[in-house]
């Protein structure tokens, strides 16, 4: 008699340790893994290797998202999807993204090891360019899959080196003409559950290792290009300068001031975290400054109002300094309320192991938010004791990481039960 031996279950903590050298950023600290760069290629290779070692079949879709499928005999109908992303912000933390992918593979391997026979296929996703760090548009892979983006515009997006998305895709062996809404793949999914490290500090005071998501703030990104007149820092009189840095400084201040001015229930927040100064010499007045405004609030009109207020301040500052401002909207993501029946079902599945799991909102964007407009989607958060994220200091304890895998395993077991 031959017995099919399930491979040993994947340990999420060990898997994350294996990924730690990939894309470690010696300049910024933390990790920099951006769409189709060397680090992303190594992360993707790890995904294929690990998923295949567990006996999953791996494919890459037209939008550069990776999918690892477990569909043993008896699994039928639309798939249960889970996963997250393996890319990062510049100099980001170890968990934003990878925790969800690693935990998904670990949970599937646990179900295999315990002899669970899923009633439906389970697909583990690695969504491409969730952070939008290379081409400026967050959740690029899931938005393309869902048909949310103008594909001509996407093909023309450029990175800092001037490489277009189309060129980057071609160089990595993908066909940039094939991107866009993937009806077959989308309609094959019954639902999507994403596990993610908590961003913000809500679970720690509640003493809870895991939480369920309720909603995502509406959010977007705007690029402001301020043009002035480049000149000599020593030889140019103060009254004859057109210095775009002054305008940029006013925008940074306005982002905070206008967000504070909005009523608290709008949960408004605005940030300038990225700036490009041309030419960038310490003894030169800049000729141009590009800066990126990230604005978020509870509802879409709150974000629109916040951005309009900041832009009005930017234009006023530009006029005063004899500069010009051009504004481009790089992305906008509408407010998300996660699927309540699915979240309730997850809460019930978690009850035996975790008791009543807290439900918390988040200010961070996720592929689950994009997909929620197309299929039932929900999220599980793993406690982050300091709440820090998009920083090398992001973290979760090994114990909580393993608790997250326990939770996701319980959820997948329930969703694919008899
Ligand atoms: C992505 O993590 C975002 O919310 O910016
Ligand atoms: Mn992130
Ligand atoms: Mn993320
Ligand atoms: Mn995100």
Q: How far apart are CA 183 and CA 379, in angstroms?
A: 23
Higher pLDDT, 153 or 2: 153
Measured by CA distance, the residue closest to atom 1 of ligand 1 is 365
Tell me what the pLDDT averaged over the chain comes to.
97
Ligand 1 touching residue 365 (CB < 6 A): yes
Is the separation of the CB atoms in 34 and 133 below 8 Å?
yes
Is the separation of the CB atoms in 230 and 241 below 8 Å?
no
Domain locations along the chain: 12-217+335-415, 218-333
Q: What is the mean pLDDT of residues 25-37?
A: 98
Residue 354 has pLDDT above 90, yes or no: yes
Fold of 12-217+335-415: Aminopeptidase (3.40.630)
How is residue 414 written in tokens?
Answer: 């329930």
Q: How far apart are CA 110 and CA 416, in angstroms?
A: 14
Ligand 1 touching residue 87 (CB < 6 A): no
User: Each residue of 201-219: pLDDT tens digit?
Assistant: 999 999 999 999 999 999 9
**Which pLDDT score, from 0 to 100, does residue 383 have?**
98
Q: What is the mean pLDDT of residues 316-336?
A: 98
Fold of 218-333: Alpha-Beta Plaits (3.30.70)
Residue of 384, 390, 391, 394 to mutate, ligand 1, most atoms within 8 A of C-beta: 390
Ligand 1 touching residue 364 (CB < 6 A): yes
Q: How far apart are CA 85 and CA 364, in angstroms?
A: 14
**Which pLDDT score, from 0 to 100, does residue 287 have?**
99
106 phi/psi in degrees, rounded to 5: -65, -40
DSSP 262: S
Q: What is the mean pLDDT of residues 126-141?
A: 98
pLDDT band at 7 (very low <50, low <70, confident <90, very high): confident
**Which pLDDT score, from 0 to 100, does residue 61 have?**
98
User: Each residue of 254-295: pLDDT tens digit?
Assistant: 999 999 999 999 999 999 999 999 999 999 999 999 999 999
Q: What is the mean pLDDT of residues 344-366?
A: 98
Nearest atom, ligand 1, residue 390 CA: 2
- Strands (E) across 9-132 are located at 57-60, 66-70, 79-85, 122-127
Residue 353 has pLDDT above 80, yes or no: yes
Is the separation of the CB atoms in 75 and 13 below 8 Å?
no
Partners of 359 in the beta sheet? Answer: 212
What separation in Å is there between the alpha carbon of 187 and the centre of ligand 2? Answer: 26
pLDDT band at 4 (very low <50, low <70, confident <90, very high): low
pLDDT band at 3 (very low <50, low <70, confident <90, very high): low
**Which pLDDT score, from 0 to 100, does residue 55 have?**
97
CATH topology match: 12-217+335-415 vs 218-333: no
DSSP 292: E
Instruction: Tell me, yes or no, if the pTM score tops 0.95.
Output: yes
ipTM value for the complex:
0.91
**Which pLDDT score, from 0 to 100, does residue 6 have?**
72
Nearest to 85 by CA among 134, 152, 121: 134
Ligand 1 touching residue 131 (CB < 6 A): yes
What separation in Å is there between the alpha carbon of 408 and the centre of ligand 2? Answer: 20
Give the strands of the sheet with 288-297, arranged side by side.
269-278, 288-297, 218-227, 324-333
Residue of 364, 381, 384 to mutate, ligand 1, most atoms within 8 A of C-beta: 364
Write out the binding residues for Zn(2+).
Answer: 85, 96, 131, 196, 390
What is the chain's Cα-based Rg? 23
Q: How far apart are CA 18 and CA 34, in angstroms?
A: 18
Q: What is the percentage of the chain residues whose pLDDT exceeds 90?
A: 98
Residues with CB under 5 A from ligand 2 (ion): 96
Residue of 99, 127, 366 to mutate, ligand 1, most atoms within 8 A of C-beta: 366
User: Each residue of 33-54: pLDDT tens digit?
Assistant: 999 999 999 999 999 999 999 9
User: Each residue of 137-185: pLDDT tens digit?
Assistant: 999 999 999 999 999 999 999 999 999 999 999 999 999 999 999 999 9
């Amino acid at each position: 008699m031959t017995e099919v031996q399930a491979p040993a279950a994947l340990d999420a903590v060990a898997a994350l340790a294996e990924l730690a050298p990939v894309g470690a950023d010696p300049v910024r600290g933390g990790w920099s893994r951006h769409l189709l760069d060397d680090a992303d290629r190594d992360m993707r290779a790890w995904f294929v290797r690990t998923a295949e070692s567990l006996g999953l079949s791996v494919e890459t879709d037209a939008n550069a998202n990776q999918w690892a499928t477990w569909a043993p005999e008896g699994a039928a109908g639309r798939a249960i999807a889970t996963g997250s992303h393996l890319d990062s912000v510049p100099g980001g933390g170890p968990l934003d993204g990878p925790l969800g992918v690693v935990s998904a593979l670990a949970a599937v391997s646990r179900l295999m090891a315990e002899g669970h026979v899923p009633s439906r296929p389970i697909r583990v996703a690695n969504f491409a360019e969730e952070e939008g760090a290379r081409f400026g548009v967050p959740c690029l892979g899931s938005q393309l899959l869902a048909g949310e983006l103008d594909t001509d515009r996407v093909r023309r997006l450029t990175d800092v080196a001037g490489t277009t998305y189309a060129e980057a895709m071609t160089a990595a062996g993908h066909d940039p003409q094939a991107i866009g809404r993937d009806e077959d793949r989308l309609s094959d999914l019954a639902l999507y559950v994403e596990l993610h490290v908590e961003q913000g500090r809500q679970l720690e005071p509640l003493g809870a290792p895991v939480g369920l998501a309720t909603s995502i703030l509406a959010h977007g990104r705007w690029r402001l290009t301020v043009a002035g007149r480049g000149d000599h820092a020593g030889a140019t009189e103060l009254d004859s300068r057109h210095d775009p840095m002054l305008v940029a400084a006013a925008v940074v201040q306005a982002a905070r001031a206008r967000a504070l001015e909005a009523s608290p229930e709008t949960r408004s927040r605005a940030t300038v975290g990225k700036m490009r100064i041309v030419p960038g010499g310490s003894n030169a007045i800049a000729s141009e400054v590009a800066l990126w405004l990230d604005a978020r609030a509870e509802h879409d009109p709150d974000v629109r109002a916040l951005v309009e207020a900041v832009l009005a301040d930017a234009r006023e500052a530009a006029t005063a300094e004899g500069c010009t401002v051009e504004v481009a909207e790089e992305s906008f993501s509408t407010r998300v309320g996660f699927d309540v029946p699915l979240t309730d079902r997850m809460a019930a599945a978690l009850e035996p192991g975790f008791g009543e799991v807290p439900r918390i909102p988040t200010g961070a964007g996720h592929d689950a938010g994009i997909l929620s407009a197309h299929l039932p989607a929900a999220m599980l958060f793993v406690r982050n004791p300091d709440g820090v994220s998009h920083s090398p200091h992001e973290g979760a304890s090994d114990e909580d990481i393993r608790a997250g895998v326990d939770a996701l395993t319980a959820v997948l077991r329930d969703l694919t039960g008899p």
